[in-house]
Amino acid sequence: MTHNEPSLYSGQSRRHFVKTFAQIGAYFGLCAPVCRYFVGEVQAQSSGLIGLFNISLAVSPFTALQQLNGSVKVEVPNGTLGTPSLVAVNNATPMIIITRVATTGDSQFGALSQRCGHQQNAVNPKVAGQNYLECPVHFARYNQTTGAVVQQPIGGGAVALSAYLAVFTAAPAPGTLQIRIAGIGYSIGHALEGTTAKRLRLRFPTRSGTNYQVMFRSSVTGTQSAIQFFNSLVSTTPLSQIPGTGAELSAYVNPPQQTGFYLIAAIP
C-alpha cells in the first residue's frame, strides 16, 4: 500500500506511510517453537470487510503445504476487530492451522481456529499418522477439515473449531492459497521470506528529497516506535533514516521476536 491509510494508520501529523508489512510467525508439529518469521505486504481494508490472507506455496514455510497432510500453524497479527473465535483468553494474536487434506478437488485445505473449543488451549497442527487435530491438554480431537469434534476431551464440553474459507489456485504451480479471516481489518499479500535467518528485507518506493524511517507496531492499533535498520545484509552500521533517491530502496531489519507490523514512514 502507499501513502496515507486512514482506515488503519491515521493520526500521524508529520509522517505518511509509504508501505506496510506484516511480520508473521509459523509453527510446525507438536508445540514446536517458532520455526520462521516471514513478512507479507499489507493492504488496508474497511473494518467491516473480511481480512484476506494470501500465501504462495512456493514460499517457505508454506512449502510444507505442497504435500498431503502438511500442516502449519500461523500466527497472524491482530487487527482492530478480533472475533471471539480467534481472539480468546490469552490469545490476543489470532492463530490458524492450515492443513493439506487432499491433492485434488475443491476442498484441498482445512483452515481452522487454533484455540481448543473446550478451554481455549492451543491445538496442535496435524502430525504423521493422525487424521485429526488434537489438543494436548485434555485430548479433544477435531476434524482437520471442518473443525468438528471427533473426540470429546476428558470431562466433555468441547465445541467445534471455527473453519475459514480457503480458496486454492493451482496455476502456476505449486499454487496459491487465500484464507478469509473475519475481523483482522486488513489483507496480507503473498508472504515474503526473510533474506537471512536474522534479517528481513523491506522494499519500498522513494522520492528524492524525502527521508524514510522504519516503524514497528505489535498490532494495528498499538503504539508505534522507530527502529534501526541496515542498508544491506552484511552492514554493521545501523541507520535511523535513509534518504530517497527516486528509485526503490531496501531496508534490512533484525526482526523483533513477535508478530506485528513494519511501517515505512516518509518524513516531510
For the stretch 115-136, pLDDT in tens is: 888 988 889 999 888 999 999 9
For residues 164 and 180, state if they share a domain: yes
Cα atoms in the Cβ-side hemisphere of radius 13 Å centred on 83: 18
- Confirm whether 5 is domain-assigned: no
**CB neighbour burial string for 70-85, b if at least 16 within 10 angstroms, e if fewer:** bbbbbbbbbbeebeeb
For residues 187 and 227, state if they share a domain: no
Q: Where is the domain boundary, 191, 223, 247? A: 191
For the stretch 76-109, pLDDT in tens is: 887 644 444 444 334 456 789 999 999 999 899 9
For the stretch 201-245, pLDDT in tens is: 999 999 999 999 999 998 877 788 999 999 998 999 999 999 999
Nearest to 182 by CA among 72, 85, 42, 62: 85
**Cα 267 from Cα 210, distance rounded (Å):** 6
Written as nine digits, the cell of 98 is: 492450515
Domain enclosing residue 207, as ranges = 197-267
- Ranges of beta strands (E only) in 89-219 are 95-100, 109-113, 133-134, 141-142, 149-151, 166-169, 176-181, 186-193, 200-204, 211-217
For residues 210 and 184, state if they share a domain: no
Of the listed ranges 36-40, 71-75, 218-222, 261-265, the least confidently predicted one is 218-222
For residues 88 and 57, state if they share a domain: yes
**Cα 190 from Cα 179, distance rounded (Å):** 12
For residues 61 and 179, state if they share a domain: yes
CB 193 within 8 A of CB 182: no
Q: Is residue 48 scored above 80 in pLDDT?
A: no
* Segments in the chain forming alpha helices (H): 6-9
- Confirm whether 1 is domain-assigned: no
CB 264 within 8 A of CB 19: yes
For residues 78 and 135, state if they share a domain: yes
Residue 115: φ, ψ to 5°: -90, 130
- Confirm whether 224 is domain-assigned: yes
Domain count, the chain: 2
Q: Where is the domain boundary, 162, 191, 220? A: 191
Q: State the maximum Cα–Cα separation within the chain, in Å, rounded to a whole number.
A: 66
Q: What is the CATH number of the domain that holds 95?
A: 2.102.10.10
- pTM of the full predicted structure? 0.84
DSSP 38-72: EEEEEEE--TTSPEEEEEETTSTTGGGGGSTT-EE
For the stretch 159-173, pLDDT in tens is: 999 899 999 999 999
Q: Where is the domain boundary, 170, 191, 212? A: 191
Residues in the chain, how many? 268
Whether the link from the prior residue into 172 is cis, omega within 30° of 0, is yes
For residues 93 and 213, state if they share a domain: no
For residues 70 and 33, state if they share a domain: yes
For residues 178 and 205, state if they share a domain: no
